[in-house]
Amino acid sequence: MKLKDTGKSAADIKALISKYMIETYERYDFLCERAEGIYLYDEKGQAYLDFYGGIAVNSAGSRNPKVVAAAKDQLDDVIHTFNYPYLIPQALLAEKICTTLGYEKIFYQNSGTEANEAMIKMARKYGIEKYGPNRYHIISAKESFHGRSFGALSATGQPNSACHRGFGPMLPGFNYAEFNNLDDFASQVTGDTIAIMLEPIQGEGGVHLATPEFLKGIRKLCDEKGLLLLIDEIQTGWCRTGEVMGYMHYGVKPDIVSMAKALGGGFPISAICTNSEIAAAFNMGSHGTTYGGNSVCCAAALAQITELLDKNMAANAKETGDYFMEKLRSLPRVKNVRGKGLLVGVELDGPIGLAVKHNCLDRKFLVTLIGDRLIRMIPPLTVTKTDCDKACALLAESIDAVKS
């Protein structure tokens, strides 16, 4: 939709948002009218270099032509129906995901939090049916982030953060252990524990990577104790980190894996994958969804992941990400740079992050902030080294512009 066709001004649109919408995010003060590749454009055609990528969604680039074409083609056939008929896009996408990742079963949802909710429910039901009524306890990591519905929120190890505050009590049956501390996780396993739930990289927690020793140790612990390993790949999945899935860097395989964000190329779709035995916990009537597996979303997702895989964007994420992080380390006031592939966190040497983020926006460069000093960047996986050079220059200017 173009502003000129509405009879309103940009100020009018901003005023309507302020008047009618419940705001839980800080708005960037520009009107996004169009997106293309690694750029967003306002109503005047001004380009903004997008190194946030729709929060790791637009991995094949904004409005990827093949994703757009697949969605348009499906709109002419079936937009939505109920879950009883067989649907072609559902079937083709299920085959593509399961054969690519080596799983037997998939269940579609609409968002990352719903995928994690389904993963938690499946693990609990499997544990209760196989072992008894008390086998529902799940251990997740401190500073983890798994979503905002009550199950996913209860698994999120940030009890003092805004996402928890005021919503208590959380659901029982969850404990938090220190990320990368195998002993802490092992000490919290009880006879009621059914699963350990982890992100391979804690994105919202500050871009912290699991160590190989830790994740391999957790897999071994789960095998020894009869626990399920649940891996949340909502942000790290589909080539973001330099592998198709983040867990693949570690030589481990989860019992259930969740995915969203990059899966749909901008369309709301998520999923969990597992083996046939665990999947059997979801029988008729035990779980459901109205929009999950929507025909248009599945068609778009099939085009999206085909683009990511056929163009080997995982390799570009690794090579370009390594180059980008090395350049970022030379910038002023940068204390640390951490990440994997094109999931990048730049830790500044003081609480200047908000000013830096706003200075980036002034330069038409889009990044986000965690805490008061970590700039996080999750650009489309189509970025080049030249794009990263431009991003580094803009970030350096933005840091330099901070008043001491």
Q: What is the pTM of this model?
A: 0.96
Residue linked to tokens 């220190």: 178
Terminal-residue alpha carbon distance, the chain:
42
Contacts of 398 (CB under 8 A, 6+ apart): 356, 357, 359, 360, 362, 363, 365
CA atoms within 13 Å, Cβ hemisphere of 73: 13
Of the candidates 108, 106, 113, the residue with the CA atom closest to the CA atom of residue 83: 108
Contact 105, 139 (CB under 8 A): no
Q: Mind listing the pLDDT tens digit for each residue in 61-118? A: 999 999 999 999 999 999 999 889 999 999 999 999 999 999 999 999 999 999 999 9
Q: Mind listing the pLDDT tens digit for each residue in 194-215? A: 999 999 999 999 999 999 999 9
Contact 259, 238 (CB under 8 A): yes
Cα 375 from Cα 356, distance rounded (Å): 8
Residues of the chain with CATH 3.40.640.10: 65-310
Share above pLDDT 90 across residues of the chain, in percent, rounded to a whole number: 98
Cα 154 from Cα 106, distance rounded (Å): 24
Contact 159, 101 (CB under 8 A): no
Q: What is the DSSP string of 308-339?
A: HHHTTHHHHHHHHHHHHHHHHTTSTTEEEEEE
pLDDT confidence band for 120 (50 / 70 / 90): very high
Q: What is the pLDDT of residue 404?
A: 61
Longest dimension (CA), the chain: 65
Residue 54 DSSP symbol: H
Residues of the chain with CATH 3.90.1150.10: 313-404
Phi, psi angles (nearest 5°) of residue 228: -90, 140
Cα 274 from Cα 316, distance rounded (Å): 28
Of the candidates 50, 16, 15, the residue with the CA atom closest to the CA atom of residue 266: 50
Angle in degrees, CA 164, 371, 166, rounded to 5? 15
Q: What is the pLDDT of residue 403?
A: 75
Residue 301: is its pLDDT beyond 90?
A: yes
Q: Mind listing the pLDDT tens digit for each residue in 350-367? A: 999 999 999 999 999 999
Question: How does the average pLDDT of the chain come out, rounded?
Answer: 97
Q: What is the pLDDT of residue 77?
A: 97
Q: What is the pLDDT of residue 167?
A: 92
CATH topology classification for 65-310: Aspartate Aminotransferase; domain 2 (3.40.640)
- Report whether CATH 3.40.30.10 matches the domain 313-404: no
Cα 114 from Cα 152, distance rounded (Å): 8
Burial class of residue 390 (count of CB atoms within 10 Å of its CB; 0-12, 13-18, 19+):
middle
The mean pLDDT of 304-310, rounded to a whole number, is 98
**Count of CB atoms situated within 10 Å of the CB of 349:** 12
| 361 Cα distance to chain centroid | 23
Of the candidates 294, 219, 260, 286, the residue with the CA atom closest to the CA atom of residue 114: 260
Q: What is the pLDDT of residue 133?
A: 96
